[in-house]
Structure 1
Amino acid sequence: MKNPALMQGLIYLVLAVVFVYFAISQVNLNGWTIMTYLMIAMATVNFVTGLKFVSLGLTTKKK
């Protein structure tokens, strides 16, 4: 792959979606627990990191 930052950003975004899915299923089964809050926090970190890598990958691609 010519642009590893873009690929890494997409992987982070996929992981964020997975964490959100598991958090939603956890809330449906057991309600809001500490594990749910941890999964939402991890999803937030992954979304932010993924967006930063994607924007970095797109800006380096233009140059």
Structure 2
Amino acid sequence: MRNPLAMQGLIYLVLAVVFVYFAISQVNMNGWTIMTYLMMAMATVNTVTGIKFVTVGLMKKKE
């Protein structure tokens, strides 16, 4: 594995997409519930973390 931080960041971004998909499905079935808000919060955390890991991984690659 050449760049584990960037790979971990990509995994976080994929998880964010999965959480958004499930949140959209939840809204279509039941409307806005507390579970929907929790899934959107998790997607936000995963997106920020993923971007951070990818950025740090690419910076380390340049060094």
Q: Identity of paired residues, percent? A: 81
Aligned counterparts of 1:54 and 1:25: Cα–Cα separation in 2: 28
1:32 matches 2:32? yes
Report what 1:60 is aligned to. Answer: 60
Equivalent position amino acid for 2:44 in 1: T
TM-score by length of 2: 0.98
Secondary structure, counterpart of 2:36 in structure 1? helix
Shift of 1:2: 1.3
List 4+ stretches of structure 1 deviating above 4 A. none
Unaligned 5+ residue runs, structure 2?
none
Q: Tell me how many residue pairs correspond in the alignment.
A: 63
TM-score normalised to the size of structure 1? 0.98
Matched residue type, 1:54? V
Deviation, 1:17, is 0.2
